[in-house]
């Protein structure tokens, strides 16, 4: 009899987000959401978000993407500052060629790092490339390279480098919603909008 009873259909919401937010910021918010809406299943994909908004409706219901400060569509959730980061023991020595760990082409941090170092006339080399924050962090934490991260999602094994390096731009974190959004997706969008717009201490574990 139980097998023959019609079961309530589970709603699915597809979310695309940057790797660092998918690792640090989003999980506690999803845990809160799951307690209030256990009937809604969230499928999350992390990665470079430059092309994700163009696939709204096709691959994603919601996308949280990074844009240059003051640019981009969608709802502004918060402003982030890009910073140089490295192992605690790392120090920048004048005239040395800087080893840099970054993400693949298409990542704003990669573009900003290259532009800033070139404009400052600083010699550098691309020492490591990965799509994942964990891999880039691991290389930087061993003192093998410096990298670029958001100040608010700075990995605990790294520290911010400021002396001797050119400043980096700020970024806007924006929420993109697909057209004709379902009610479950709209509920998640509102939850994420509220949670990410709050001070970082309210959402980070």
The two beta strands, 11-17 and 98-102, are unpaired
Question: Does residue 204 carry a pLDDT above 50?
Answer: no
27 or 205, greater pLDDT: 27
- What pLDDT, on the 0 to 100 scale, is given for residue 108? 92
Question: Does residue 169 carry a pLDDT above 50?
Answer: yes
CA distances from 195 to 91, 114, 137, 192 (A): 36, 33, 25, 5
Question: Does residue 36 carry a pLDDT above 50?
Answer: yes
Rounded to the nearest integer, the mean pLDDT of the chain is 90
Question: Does residue 10 carry a pLDDT above 80?
Answer: no
- What pLDDT, on the 0 to 100 scale, is given for residue 72? 81
Q: Residue 11, by phi and psi: left (phi above 0), alpha (psi -120 to 50) or beta?
A: beta
- What pLDDT, on the 0 to 100 scale, is given for residue 135? 93
* pTM for the full predicted model: 0.85
- Give 44-63 pLDDT, tens digit per residue: 999 889 889 999 999 999 99
CA distance 204 to 189: 18
- What pLDDT, on the 0 to 100 scale, is given for residue 66? 94
């Amino acid at each position: 009899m139980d097998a023959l009873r019609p079961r309530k259909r589970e709603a699915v919401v597809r979310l695309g987000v940057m790797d660092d937010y998918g690792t640090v910021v989003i999980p506690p918010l999803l845990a809160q959401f799951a307690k209030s809406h256990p009937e809604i299943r969230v499928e999350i994909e992390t990665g470079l978000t430059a092309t994700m908004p163009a696939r709204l409706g096709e691959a994603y219901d919601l996308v949280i993407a990074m844009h240059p400060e003051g640019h981009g569509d969608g709802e502004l959730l918060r402003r982030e500052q890009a910073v140089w980061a490295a192992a605690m023991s790392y120090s920048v020595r004048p005239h040395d060629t800087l080893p840099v760990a970054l993400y693949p082409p298409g990542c704003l941090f990669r573009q900003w790092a290259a532009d800033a170092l070139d404009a400052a006339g600083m010699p550098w080399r691309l020492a490591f490339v990965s799509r994942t924050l964990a891999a880039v962090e691991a290389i930087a934490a061993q003192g093998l390279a410096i990298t670029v991260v958001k100040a608010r999602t700075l990995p605990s094994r790294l520290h911010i480098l400021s002396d001797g390096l050119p400043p980096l731009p700020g970024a806007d974190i924006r929420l993109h919603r697909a057209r004709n959004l379902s009610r479950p997706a709209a509920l998640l969008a509102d939850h994420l909008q509220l949670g990410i717009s709050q001070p970082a201490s309210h959402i980070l574990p």
